[in-house]
Amino acid sequence: MSAITGVGAYAPRFRISAEAFEEAWGQFHAAGVTEKAVPSADEDALTMAYEAATRALEATETDPTSIDWLGFAASRPPEAEADLTARLGAMLALSASTTRQTFTGSTRAGTRALWAGQDALEADATTALIVAADALKGDPDDGVDHAAGAGAAAFVIERDGPSEIVDRAEYAAPYPGTRFRNTGEDETQGLGITQYDRSAFTETIGGAVSGLEVDPEPEAAAIQAPDGKLPYRAAGAAGVGTDEIQAAATVHELGDLGAASVPVSLARALADGYESILAVSQGSGAGADAFVVEADGDVPTKTALEGDDPLSYAEYLRQRGVVTSGPPSGGGAYVSVPSWRRSIPQRYRLEAGRCSECGALSFPPEGACDDCGALAEYEPVELAGEGSIEAVTTISQGGAPPEFAEQQAKSGDYAAAIVALETSGASETQRANGDETVSAPAMGTDADPADFEVGDRIETTIRRIYTQEGVTRYGFKIRPTNE
């Protein structure tokens, strides 16, 4: 079959508790969920996919250019019609010739991508990267929204490795109306017929597991989790106990992760060292995928699933943009899509330039050299994505440029900084002297503006910048490190 050789997982830092929903609505419709992860105003399935994939590649020390097959899965991608693997591949610095596929339309999409990656390895691919990410939405008073969480998982798979996928099976039966999102709609919904939904869930999961030729005796079971109770109701159909489901469960503290539900639970089980794992995804319609993972040794993992920033219900609505008025009309700095595209190497991969005349660094690498004034060629230099703050201020309501006003309304105050970014090969001495650094403006994310101070160490990530002409611009932002 194929082997998982590296794992990455990510969940946003924001959390909202069941109690916050109960205070707002008088009740909470997501059984078994104590809190859930909430994406920041500048996060979506694509940026979370980047976070998880970066960690998987770092865990395995895999050269991104060696990835020859990329799969991206989301039941609710940020764009309904677009090849998001082109952007994701550019963010990760994959080769432009890497084969890519997008999977959507179902919460099974994550395992569909994993299976397609396996098939690619059985053909001519040597190293595949599979990423599943989701950030669900439902109507505010509906159980879908009460459970809707956010997160992502990524897997590097090769033909041999410490954790093999030894068997797989699938099953489908027509159960229309169990869960769906119609064309043009933003919220997922369902008919809410409890017994009907439960029958669809247990029949398809049981059917998929019964199709396995390997008799699974798992230590952990990663089961699709629309809420915190339904996976356990399917324990008998899956042939496992509640302890095995609990061992891998993420729904209780992250919520319903959609297409990333089973991948994130599988990532947790591998990170915790379980040697035998049953994974079963389920999607409305209805169908299920089941597969067995057996680990013989530790699988390199790098995860970031903890949250430390609780939200009130009002703050939750603001992050989602439910109670904001949207961007102001006119007045924003216009940047055409072709112009933005030319800056992608700088915005995604922090590509600076070294002046061929004096050796000084420039970012972006265009125009005359800031040091010697020469209109010379620049040698591409990749920055490390780390540095320190040289100057910083806080942008509050009314102070944001028009193109950033909507994000400010959703997320509140944010930090705007000048940072000294370092080259990948900078030594401690060069870093201290500023010999291999270049200054760049940046927006803060993932922290209160007060957490950004001059001299503090930072790292970069990729987030949403703003949307113009219906096209979302993505680029690097900064967040504090623990150095």
**Average confidence (pLDDT) over 450-457:** 94
Backbone phi, psi, residue 310, to 5°: -75, 145
pLDDT band per the 50, 70, 90 thresholds, residue 483: low
Sign of CA dihedral 427, 428, 434, 440: positive
pLDDT band per the 50, 70, 90 thresholds, residue 165: very high
Query: Residue 444: what pLDDT?
Result: 93
Per DSSP, the three-state class of 58 is helix
pLDDT band per the 50, 70, 90 thresholds, residue 376: confident
Query: Residue 410: what pLDDT?
Result: 82
Q: What is the pLDDT of residues 416-436, one digit of tens each?
A: 999 999 988 766 666 666 678
pLDDT band per the 50, 70, 90 thresholds, residue 183: confident
CA distance 181 to 246: 29
| Statement: residue 321 has pLDDT above 80 | no
Query: Residue 13: what pLDDT?
Result: 94
Token code pair at residue 178: 């169990």
Query: Residue 433: what pLDDT?
Result: 61
Nearby residues of 253 by Cβ (< 8 Å), 6 or more positions away: 15, 34, 35, 36, 37, 307
Query: Residue 409: what pLDDT?
Result: 79
Tokens 């430390």 belong to: 308
List the domain boundaries for the chain.
Answer: 2-320, 337-480
Q: What angle do CA 380, 367, 393 make, to 5 degrees?
A: 85
CA distance 336 to 343: 11
Q: How many CB atoms lie within 10 A of CB 182?
A: 8
CA distance 365 to 368: 9
**Average confidence (pLDDT) over 20-49:** 94
Query: Residue 476: what pLDDT?
Result: 95
Task: Pick the more confident residue, 222 or 185.
Answer: 222
pLDDT band per the 50, 70, 90 thresholds, residue 451: very high
Question: What CATH architecture is 2-320?
Answer: 3-Layer(aba) Sandwich (3.40)
CA distance 462 to 447: 15
Backbone phi, psi, residue 251, to 5°: -65, -30
| Statement: residue 264 has pLDDT above 90 | yes
**Contact status, residue 62 vs residue 6, Cβ threshold 8 Å:** yes
**Contact status, residue 150 vs residue 9, Cβ threshold 8 Å:** no
- The one-letter amino acid code at 81 reads E
C-alpha distance from residue 16 to each of 13, 255, 312, 314, 445 (Å) = 10, 10, 7, 10, 18
- The one-letter amino acid code at 404 reads F
Q: What is the pLDDT of residues 143-155, one digit of tens each?
A: 899 999 999 999 9
**Contact status, residue 348 vs residue 464, Cβ threshold 8 Å:** no
- The one-letter amino acid code at 405 reads A
Token code pair at residue 401: 């440029």
CA distance 443 to 182: 35
pLDDT band per the 50, 70, 90 thresholds, residue 407: confident
